[in-house]
Structure 1
Amino acid sequence: MGCGISTDGYPNQGGPPVYPRSPQIVSFEKIGAMNNNNEFVTMTNTSRDVDRSMLEKYIEIERQIAEEEANNPIQPLELKMDQLARLGQEIEAMEAQLAGLEEQTAMIGEVTAESVETRQFFIENGIQEDPLTPEQEQYLEAANKKEIATQELEAHRKQHEQVSQEVAELEDKAKRLHELYREHDSLLDKLFGGEYGSVAENQLEAELDELEAHRGRIMEANFKWRQAQMMLEYACKQLAVAVQKWQDLPTIPTIDLEIRYSVAAETRNNLVAAGQNIQGAQRYLDNVKFPYCDPSEMQTLGKQATEYVFTDMQSNDRHDHAQACYSTTHKRANALLQWFDTVINTTIMKDLNDINEKVKDKTLELRRERVRLIQEKVKELWGMDIELDSTLRTEDFNVEELAKMMVTEGQVVKVEAGDAESERAGTPPLLSRDELAPVAFQHRHLRQHV
């Protein structure tokens, strides 16, 4: 490969189905027929079923298969079905967790307050002259945890619904491809049988099968990395909004409790969504160790920062500590996104371009050999020459566009009123090549885990 990554760099599974490509010459049952010169020639049962339209249809189906396989829906379908099953399991666990939090909040509320949601409690009790009592802080934290759990559960339910729709669409596309495979096989059965038409055809078929299996592994890796990359892009925007909102908080008069709560809640909601998106990216690449924003960092953001957002805003020291936490996570998330861009652009896309060219060239070689065999057989059967299109008759594929085509937003966690409010939110500067996680790290983990 162009980047030094061997075939073992991608999983040996998930490639496109291998359909029979072997035109095998039949053992003919001889019958008599007249050619165009009124000469008696040897014919077969098979030849009676073969006409020019069938030969041209065979060529056309191979062209359609080449187009469909350029962005094979079968691999994303399998991956999204797996993600759908995971989402279902996570939803069940979240529902149980939320039930426990609701019970816990209700028990605390009996002692400390009658409020059932953070907004009402904060506005009624967030008087800056008198800090919250430990019991009030405990209740506020419990209520906030419950709201976060509710938010995460709702996001998962939306994801489940959207991914279900994507699975249904991919199933239709996969069905279309399988129908082409079956039609292709049927025509091959009518055209050929017995043994290979030539040694060259046999060898070309074996080489093409090997190349397509390799391409399948690279395409699967490409899909996973690009899907995770898109989720990281959303996370970075959400973290930028959270940092900006949190910076704005001290400028809001303490008497404006409604506005202060709203800003803090937006901070929290964007932090929660960003955390879920980063975790979603990790699920797609669950065996790749992220050099930034690893699970322990995200746990810190979720447990020590997000859950205490309404108490952290009560004092300057706690506000500044939280600010440092949010800003650090924002910077590291942007570094992770930059690292992803580097992996995709310097490794996966080079491999994908290279393998696509090899598959295209080998497919064309095999096509020409089969057309030659068909032409020879027609001349043998009917004593005439025919011309058949021996090319793929397709324009060169835009590999960059095809690489992105199957990536969808179905599993992205969005914030209703936050994602678009990043005009004033700053973006950390890009890291230099020396500062970014090294290329050797990327290649090692691609070989071992992707």
Structure 2
Amino acid sequence: MGCASSTAVQVQPRYPSQTVNTVRTTTHPPVAVTVTQPNVIHMRQPVVNVPRTTIITQQYPPPIAATNLAVANKPQNKDINIEEVVKKFQLLNSVILDLEKKNLVTRVEEKIKQRAATDAESIALKATLAQLEEKTKKELQDVANLQQMANSSSISNFFSSQLQFDQKFSQEEEEYIQAKTEQENCYKKLIALQEESSRISAEIDNLKRERNDLLNLYEQVDNVLDQVFGGVYGSTLEDELETKTDQIQEKLRRIEMAMRAWKNSEAMTKAATGQLEFACKRWWDVQRIPKTGSYQMLRIQAITETRNYLIAAVRNLAHTQRNISPVKAPYCDPKELNTLNQAINFIFIDGMTRDRHSHAYQVYRTTHARSNMLAKWIETVIANKITTDLAETRVAFAQCRQSLRSERLRLMKEKVLETTGQTLDIDETKSMDSGIDMETESAASVEVAEVEKVEDAQNLNEKIEKAKAENEEEGEEMKEDEEKPSLDELAPPPSKNELFGDLDTLMSEYEGQQKALQHEQEMTKARQEANFKEKLRRRRSKKMRLEAQGIQIEPDNGPAEAAQS
């Protein structure tokens, strides 16, 4: 008996991430081939933030007879019931289609980005709030110093007259009110962002649970395909269809994310428009409320309610800008929102006099008109740009994926016929691809910024109407300007590259990656062939040397004769 030796041979796998180790044990010269396959998880669908296995776009013929033997003798194909496995494949696809209608992968990615942007904004607001708190303390101290001076006899040392002192005191009071209002507004925004981040985190957890169920089903489908086809593609057509499906799916993912972002922006902009409209109306009411002492608290409550509606509108418009980025909004841009924020910071001061009240109203009304234009512009972009591309891409993806499933079912039928001699009857309509469920898509929650309620303001509307009725002699209501911006002259829509990114470049990069991976696989295959041929050459050389020395090499007559020897 000669000494046993072991040689590891690499077999071309179905997936690049899979390694099939073929161990050949040689005992002069019988060759026994066994296959051991590690447990490898395959992701057949693109998943956000999960390393994705790229599929080789070409099937290679086995380079040597030993490779064919290794693949053909995989133990999985000996013990499985092909017919049952095919039925399981069909059932898994039906469940997958139901989950895919929820668009889970895209929604998880969208929510993760939204939470990251919210957290970044919260960090910035925390720093701003700290600065505003210091500013408020300083302004309060300035007011306190003047009050202390008024109670002393040192006014004449700093002011020429009581009138000059009163003017300075009023100025310091206004600066303190403005600083305090700005601080409170910043604090309210920060709290709202923190609550939004917590809500988004909860949504991500729920979506991830469903997404993980989907990924588990993908893994089960890949295991079924491995069992049926032994780790290689059933046909070249299956390989090509899978690659094409991956490409269209990536394009579809981009467009779906754009659609969801723009639909959310549309809802937020419409909410902001309604909030600005109410703020303008309530701001009219403020001027009609008597300024006598008994109505002072009512005026403060009305101004506070106006401010809360304006803050909510600003948040919704800011979220809209973030959602449609990198496209720049032609209306209510950051500069306009900054102007509105400044007006909000002065709102309690603006409510004291008619002139300032009228000026502030013009700012609010102009922003309301621009917000209405923005809502109409977003609606037009969705209808004329995104919807068409999304519908076409969904149809292409559904057709391509259905073709892939049909090809796999055809191959499985052939496998059943080859294995059992029976014809498998499969109803392919059970796995027909209906695409994204539009009802589920439209029913997806869109969280708009809500208005904070005014404390201790029960029956506020009734109180304001009563106060206005008692103040008819104070003057007429403020008239709304007759000229309104026309919706017929909207800004031009963004380009496809601005909406979806450069899809042509994306597809080119994808194809380039596929070609690079294919080249790498060819090089690996060539090295494996060369190594195996070299091992065969060495074995032949050893056999020739042994024969030259007069040592007979017994033929391979199986384990029984080997044992007898």
TM class by smaller structure: 0.7 to 0.9
Determine helix, strand or coil for the equivalent of 2:429: coil
User: Would the aligned equivalents of 2:308 and 2:452 in 1 still touch at CA under 8 Å?
Assistant: no
Query: 1:322 deviation in Å?
Result: 0.9
Q: Distance in 2 between matches of 1:43 and 1:83?
A: 47
Matching residue of 1:275: 314
In our comparison, the structure showing a higher alpha carbon Rg is 2
What amino acid is the match of 1:266? Answer: E
Establish whether residue 313 from structure 1 lines up as the match of residue 351 from structure 2.
yes
Q: Distance in 2 between matches of 1:196 and 1:429?
A: 68
Matching residue of 2:519: none
User: Would the aligned equivalents of 1:249 and 1:260 in 2 still touch at CA under 8 Å?
Assistant: yes
Matching residue of 1:325: 363
Matching residue of 1:358: 396
Matching residue of 1:347: 385
Normalised to the residue count of structure 1, the TM-score between the two structures is 0.80
Q: Percent identity?
A: 32
CA deviation string 1:371-398 (max 9, x = no partner): 1111111111111111112235458457
Matching residue of 1:334: 372
Establish whether residue 227 from structure 1 lines up as the match of residue 281 from structure 2.
no
- Mapping 1:2-81, distance limit 5 Å: 27=68, 46-81=77-112
Q: Distance in 2 between matches of 1:30 and 1:171?
A: 37
Q: Alignment length, in residue pairs?
A: 405
CA deviation string 1:288-309 (max 9, x = no partner): 1101001100011102x11111
User: Would the aligned equivalents of 1:364 and 1:390 in 2 still touch at CA under 8 Å?
Assistant: no
Determine helix, strand or coil for the equivalent of 1:391: helix
Change (3 A) 1:364 1:448: closer
CA deviation string 1:99-158 (max 9, x = no partner): 2222222222233259xxxxxxxxxxxxxxx99811111111111111111111111111
Change (3 A) 1:387 1:21: farther
User: Would the aligned equivalents of 1:201 and 1:366 in 2 still touch at CA under 8 Å?
Assistant: yes
Change (3 A) 1:192 1:216: same
Matching residue of 1:92: 123
Matching residue of 1:391: 429
Matching residue of 1:106: 137
Determine helix, strand or coil for the equivalent of 1:415: coil
User: Would the aligned equivalents of 2:332 and 2:374 in 1 still touch at CA under 8 Å?
Assistant: yes
Q: Distance in 1 between matches of 2:75 and 2:119?
A: 57
User: Would the aligned equivalents of 1:223 and 1:406 in 2 still touch at CA under 8 Å?
Assistant: no
Q: Which runs of 5+ in 2 are unaligned?
A: 1-45, 62-66, 146-165, 455-459, 466-479, 504-565
Q: Distance in 1 between matches of 2:223 and 2:436?
A: 31
Query: 1:200 deviation in Å?
Result: 2.9
Change (3 A) 1:431 1:57: farther
Matching residue of 1:257: 296
User: Would the aligned equivalents of 1:22 and 1:205 in 2 still touch at CA under 8 Å?
Assistant: no
Q: Distance in 2 between matches of 1:233 and 1:355?
A: 28
User: Would the aligned equivalents of 2:401 and 2:433 in 1 still touch at CA under 8 Å?
Assistant: no
Q: Distance in 2 between matches of 1:374 and 1:253?
A: 83
Q: Which runs of 5+ in 1 are unaligned?
A: 1-11, 32-41, 115-129
User: Would the aligned equivalents of 1:228 and 1:284 in 2 still touch at CA under 8 Å?
Assistant: yes
Q: Distance in 2 between matches of 1:17 and 1:435?
A: 47
Determine which of 441, 446, 451 is the counterpart of 1:415.
451
User: Would the aligned equivalents of 2:177 and 2:348 in 1 still touch at CA under 8 Å?
Assistant: yes
Matching residue of 1:205: 242
User: Would the aligned equivalents of 1:234 and 1:277 in 2 still touch at CA under 8 Å?
Assistant: yes
Query: 1:16 deviation in Å?
Result: 10
Query: 1:340 deviation in Å?
Result: 1.0
Q: Distance in 1 between matches of 2:231 and 2:496?
A: 45
Query: 1:448 deviation in Å?
Result: 5.3
